[in-house]
Structure 1
């Protein structure tokens, strides 16, 4: 993650004209350059694969080529295409409207849930650990472990994106990275850690998923959904027809994370149903111990198996290290974004490095799993190119745009963008972070995270990780 420093900036709206060069005047070295093993001064990312599959169940982005070049923001916060405007909804360090303390930092995953009378509930993760960063204030009845500083805050907006309320939604959790919305209108926030009680001062075990009700957080409280497993959770996606929860694991060392599914005892039962228990299983692709070894788009694997997790609570051994039998289990480095589209679940492997222990190098993959066919397909691969207009780093948070297409948050070094991807495989810039955390000579920008859309599709919400800033972006969406 980027360094945690805050730049003060004023203003709540931006508009634009022609695209400006980066402040540094020269591109910075990035992770993809190391992976490519070249001395190239500039490297980009290209997409190859079956783009149309990414948008199953949505309107296709027919003829859509983006919104034009990004326009420099005179306030130095967010560059957008001409005709688009932003509003700053919240910034770290400002007082929460509830009076519970300051707005926490490290803004990460987020969702926009519909409320009554046209209101919108934004539920936002804060990826704080036991000490680093401006933590989530502890609130009675909403705090799991007082020694942990992560959690979620919830913003209530009216139909014009005016902030009506902002309060703590859950506290005392750790490293809340991503998550996913449920079909019954709540948010599942994920702890990206395996720390147990007694580690780093924690008083309780961590590595769980928690359910958060954005409209009334006390309905869900601070109760870990232990049956969904204890591991380094990243994101989740819920099958809206069967209620099965798919989960990614972003483990930082070998053997890397697994892709899971949770079969609840009470599927689609609404708030609290996931507390009723169920069965946790891990994906096994026969003959494929490491997904990074697969390099060809369109590669398809039928007969995917789901193996029961021996000890979902990882009491003695992390789940990915447990004994899954003589056939083993399938691992992957940097399992991150996860979403449901049409009749399939999609998940992202942000990158893989052979120097870290992966079977092969790649710059990002998007996989599609079809439950009815038990089929896994590699649908998109990110790769090196020389076109700097293409996404410049590995994909992280992703979401489907209501009008068709995919939004991808960039996570890496150098300039940071939100990119759009059309059904035809065309890539366009949607936003660029201009909050310079460094100096004019050595600039540094925080990553984007938590991109999501309002229920009516008229507003894109997105976070800057640091300094923690939440934006509402409106304009002539296709």
Structure 2
């Protein structure tokens, strides 16, 4: 999403100091991460694409806004944002949102088993400020409109079936979505300084046409038990969804989210935090908070999109900061994994791994130009932990 300046309005609850790993047994990490050397070593000098990477990793440009994707007739969209990868036979598809007002949507690039580009196509057109989103277990992409009373659109990564608007998931300033097949719900973040964290319970799992929208309830602390309450009017009019339930827990600028192994991790940009919702025990805790870094400088600021490797490592992209993707390990350490140089007026978006975990895709939304017309989408290949 476009960079904004937010005052830090969230108050660190007294319970934060007592985390000690007791609240997050099932998650990939157990306490707010602290800086430490990364598992891949230090970043090297910038490569020909201006990206600093650890030894053994290489980058390439996949697409540039306004230019045809190599070997295809598809012109890559402006302001590439949230993304995901879908298996496609022995190859895969990388889907990317377009965060443009009125003419947004999403596009996709297809790859064969060797990682060569085989095609590109549009999967959603003429929607509004499509920021992040999420992948479903039934292989659709949920593209989220980051505007007041925004919708979620369920799209076909192959571009065969027409996209479908899903109003049952609520109308609010949508950011990201993460499907939880274990509880058969979809978690949703809201990009407001007093936003909420939601979950949608479909009437039938795999069909998002109807169901119940709920909001997290649970005080002002940064750890402890939480519960869920039904949002009476998911349409958000005349009262916004975040204002309908007394005691709804507030989060300062919800961004990316990802679910795995009983936990949904989500980020909030207004206070530079990575949260963990333990869905098994219905409790929350902090995976990272820049104000709780005890030594040195906080490596991660401007938290935004997030993805997770099979190893349990979380990869968190920066909106601003020093244009890094930082890696949070299951051992509660955090370090830069890569840094994009010469693009300080941009942000990193859409991190997602290929099915075998050997390739990481992401975009610089505004590239070297600082404009939505300058977006660049990359691939990094190397010895990722799986």
TM-score between both structures, scaled by the size of structure 1: 0.69
Q: Which residue matches 1:278? A: 211
User: In the alignment, is residue 179 of structure 1 matched against residue 133 of structure 2?
Assistant: yes
The 1:104/1:435 distance shift into structure 2, 3 A limit, reads: farther
For 1:99, what is the secondary structure of its paired residue? coil
> Superposition pairs for residues 98-247 of structure 1, below 5 Å?
99=73, 102-116=75-89, 118-129=90-101, 148-194=102-148, 207-215=150-158, 217-219=159-161, 221-247=162-188
SS of 2:110's equivalent in the other structure is strand
CA contact (8 A) 2:73 2:120 kept: no
Q: Following the alignment from structure 1 to structure 2, what is the Cα–Cα distance between the partners of residues 2 and 348?
A: 16
Residues 1:224 and 1:2: Cα distance change in structure 2 (over 3 Å): closer
For the structure 1 residues 425 and 375, does the alpha-carbon distance in structure 2 shift closer, same or farther, using more than 3 Å as the test? closer
For 1:369 and 1:257, the matched residues in 2 are separated by 20
Q: Which structure 1 segments of 5+ residues have no match?
A: 4-29, 37-47, 57-62, 130-147, 196-206, 353-362, 437-443
1:317-354: per-residue Cα shift (whole Å, max 9, x none)? 321233x3xx44222211222111212323222333xx
Q: Tell me the CA shift for residue 214 of structure 1.
A: 1.1
Asked if 1:476 corresponds to 2:383, the answer is: yes
Tell me which of 452, 460, 472 is aligned to 2:352: 452
Larger Cα-atom Rg: 1
Aligned in 2, Cα 1:259/1:470: closer, same or farther, shift over 3 Å? same
CA contact (8 A) 1:367 1:380 kept: no
* 1:105 CA displacement: 1.6
**Would the aligned equivalents of 2:26 and 2:263 in 1 still touch at CA under 8 Å?**
no
| Counterpart residue number, 2:340 | 433
Q: Does 2:216 match 1:311?
A: no
Equivalent runs, 1:343-362 vs 2, <5 Å:
343-352=262-271
Residue number in structure 2 paired with 1:23: none
Deviates more, 1:223-232 or 1:424-433: 424-433
SS in structure 2 of the partner of residue 81 of structure 1:
coil
- Match of 1:71, SS state, is coil
Matched with 1:401 is 309
TM-score by length of 2: 0.85
Give the direction of change, closer, same or farther, for the CA distance of 1:374–1:423 in structure 2 (3 Å limit): closer
Aligned counterpart, 1:338? 257
1:210 Cα deviation after fit: 1.0
Cα offset, 1:167, TM superposition: 1.1
The unaligned stretches of length 5 or more in structure 2 are 10-18, 30-35, 368-374
Matched, 1:462 2:384: no
Contact 1:90–1:470 (8 Å) recurs in 2? yes
Could you say which structure has the higher strand fraction?
2
Distance 2:46 2:56 in 1: 12
Number of equivalenced pairs: 359
Distance in 2, Cα, partners of 1:52 & 1:66: 22
